[in-house]
């Protein structure tokens, strides 16, 4: 009987020590995390266009044309068209060239229509001085303009995006073969 009571006392003591250590550790984590994270009055504001140091690249603000352009290019290159939805206005004008689709549609429908590009197996070029891009702008100014983000795939697909003043996509044009526009 003494052995049982002694064993029970040791078990209760062990459980008590473990519980105490757990709550002490949890309390320490709360103090550490609350002291290391800035409070609203301690928040440091940094200009997103300034560099962090001489070797770090310039940060790009998330609503800038450059930021949106980078994300459009990444979305097209990875075929993750759903990622574009956050950059598209609530309603967008979408044209599938040489078809009767689509007109003004919702951003959800626009991202679904981006699947049109899934058949492209080529690599994409979004350079401003691409000769096909320049010919598209010259040959079809009603569809393409100098201020558009235009990607041309090595297998002749074209994806053009026009941004509004808030850097939201307001117009999309998709072409399965740029030879339909540029002879």
Q: Comparing C-alpha atoms, which of 58, 59, 87, 63 is closest to residue 74?
A: 87
Reported as a single tens digit per residue, the pLDDT across 48-77 is: 433 344 444 555 556 789 999 999 999 999
Looking at every residue in the chain, the average pLDDT score rounds to 79
What residues pair up with 169 in beta bridges, in sequence order? Answer: 88, 163
Q: What is the reported pTM? A: 0.66
Reported as a single tens digit per residue, the pLDDT across 79-93 is: 999 999 989 999 999
Q: Which of 44-53, 65-74, 94-103, 148-157 has the lowest mean pLDDT?
A: 44-53
pLDDT of amino acid 170: 96
Architecture of the domain delimited by 65-180: Roll (3.10)
Reported as a single tens digit per residue, the pLDDT across 100-122 is: 889 999 999 999 999 999 999 98
The domain segmentation of the chain, as residue ranges, is: 1-45, 65-180
pLDDT of amino acid 62: 62
């Amino acid at each position: 009987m003494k052995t049982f009571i002694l064993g029970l006392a040791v078990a209760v003591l062990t459980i008590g020590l473990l519980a105490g250590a757990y709550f002490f550790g949890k309390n320490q984590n709360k103090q550490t995390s609350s002291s290391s994270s800035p409070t609203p009055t301690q928040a440091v504001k940094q200009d997103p266009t300034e560099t962090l140091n001489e070797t770090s690249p310039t940060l790009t603000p998330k609503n800038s044309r450059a930021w949106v352009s980078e994300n459009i290019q990444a979305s097209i290159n990875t075929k993750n068209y759903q990622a574009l939805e956050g950059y598209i206005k609530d309603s967008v004008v979408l044209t599938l060239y040489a078809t009767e689709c689509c007109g003004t549609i919702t951003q959800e429908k626009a991202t679904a229509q981006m699947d049109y590009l899934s058949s492209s197996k080529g690599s994409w070029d979004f350079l401003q001085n691409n000769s096909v891009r320049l010919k598209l702008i010259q040959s079809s100014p009603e569809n393409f303009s100098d201020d558009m983000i235009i990607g041309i795939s090595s297998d002749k697909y074209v994806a053009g995006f026009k941004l509004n003043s808030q850097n939201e996509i307001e117009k999309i044009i998709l072409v399965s073969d740029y030879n339909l526009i540029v002879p």
